[in-house]
């Protein structure tokens, strides 16, 4: 497993498993058991997904040392603000049944709340309750408004990112600010499978389209968190370490960009 180093020196496994819409029951437990057995150690959850308890339970049942895991959770929009965020964090911690969280994110920019919420994250970081802090769904103007008020810079920005929404300018801005770029919906919620170029490249590299897109993320230094609860897909998505996409093909995938979202627009949502 390749890792990405954050601006505080923390190493993040570059591929994780997203658990949005994975439930909080038996299916989630089975999916996480397969994922841990396959080698995943990075799990992306959120208070909003209502399955932090299931993630905590699966970690405990795995028998794997807590220090081996990289767990992300996020403060939901309605819980933002300084005091509310601290309260929401304690709830997440209790549900995850863990002494700390690896990465805590502001789930969406909520107008007027970003600075107070960020101050709460800085407090949690200084207290040692989280190993890294960051944001999600922050466009460049959201970051430009927040950064002057940061004593600690966000370490990650988690955004919608896939071949139809590449956001090169935002990637470059984050890189200049030493904020690592993390892709949500990397498989376009299943939309990547019908893109003709990816079908061609899949034949060329003898890899599935999912593997190709995730490998494109890895080679672009992007952290990626595809979701699946199907054992064979969980394993398939992890099997991306034994091939290289040529530079010219990476660019062809970049050029598929249409600025097309499958999720909400951060300027409207939140
Ligand atoms: P995704 O792009 O990961 O696509 C998931 C879909 O693709 C599922 O239907 C899954 O069954 C299918 N799939 C996965 N692997 C496959 C394979 N190998 N072959 C065929 N089909 C496959 O979409 P997502 O779930 O929206 O995003 C991934 C994760 O990102 C979420 O689970 C969540 O953790 C995170 N996320 C974060 C935000 C945010 O606002 N921060 C928003 C959405 C998602």
Give the gyration radius of the chain's Cα atoms.
18
How many whole angstroms separate alpha carbon 263 and alpha carbon 189?
9
Place of tokens 């049944």: 97
Alpha helical stretches, state H, 41-176: 52-62, 82-96, 114-126, 140-146, 168-176
Give me the CATH code for the 3-269 domain, please.
3.20.20.100
pLDDT at 270 over 90: no
Element (H, E) at 77: none
Question: If you average pLDDT over every residue of the chain, what do you get?
Answer: 98
pTM, two decimal places: 0.98
Q: Ligand 1 pocket: which residues have CB below 6 Å?
A: 18-20, 44, 107, 136-137, 158, 184-190, 210, 225-228, 233, 236-237, 263
Tell me, what's the pLDDT at 269?
A: 84
pLDDT at 183 over 70: yes
Q: Which atom of ligand 1 is nearest to the CA of 183?
A: 30
Question: Which one of 17, 20, 108, 261 would you pick to mutate in the ligand 1 pocket, going by the greatest count of ligand atoms within 8 A of its CB?
Answer: 20
Cβ contact 12:40 at 8 Å: no
The domain limits of the chain are 3-269
How many whole angstroms separate alpha carbon 145 and alpha carbon 114?
9
Element (H, E) at 188: none
Q: Which atom of ligand 1 is nearest to the CA of 237?
A: 18
């Amino acid at each position: 497993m390749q890792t990405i180093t954050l601006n505080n020196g923390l190493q993040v496994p570059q591929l994780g498993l997203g658990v949005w819409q994975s439930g909080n029951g038996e299916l989630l437990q089975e999916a996480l058991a397969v994922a841990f057995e396959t080698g995943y150690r990075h799990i992306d959850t959120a208070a909003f997904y209502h399955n932090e308890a299931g993630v905590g339970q699966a970690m405990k049942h795995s028998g794997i040392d807590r220090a081996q895991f990289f767990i992300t959770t996020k403060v939901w929009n309605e819980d933002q603000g300084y005091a509310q965020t601290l309260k929401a964090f304690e709830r997440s911690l209790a549900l995850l049944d863990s002494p700390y969280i690896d990465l805590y994110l502001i789930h969406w920019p909520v107008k007027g709340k970003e600075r107070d919420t960020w101050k709460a994250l800085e407090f949690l970081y200084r207290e040692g309750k989280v190993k890294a802090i960051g944001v999600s769904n922050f466009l460049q103007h959201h970051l430009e408004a927040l950064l002057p008020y940061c004593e600690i810079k966000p370490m990650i920005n988690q955004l919608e990112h896939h071949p139809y929404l590449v956001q090169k300018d935002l990637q470059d801005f984050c890189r200049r600010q030493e904020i690592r770029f993390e892709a949500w919906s990397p498989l376009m919620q299943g939309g990547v499978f019908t893109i003709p170029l990816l079908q061609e490249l899949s034949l060329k590299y003898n890899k599935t389209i999912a593997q190709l897109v995730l490998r494109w993320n890895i080679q672009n230094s992007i952290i990626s968190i595809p979701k699946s609860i199907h054992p064979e897909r969980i394993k398939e998505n992890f099997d991306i370490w034994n091939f290289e996409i040529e530079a010219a093909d990476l660019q062809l995938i970049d050029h598929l960009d249409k600025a097309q979202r499958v999720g909400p627009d951060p300027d409207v949502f939140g």
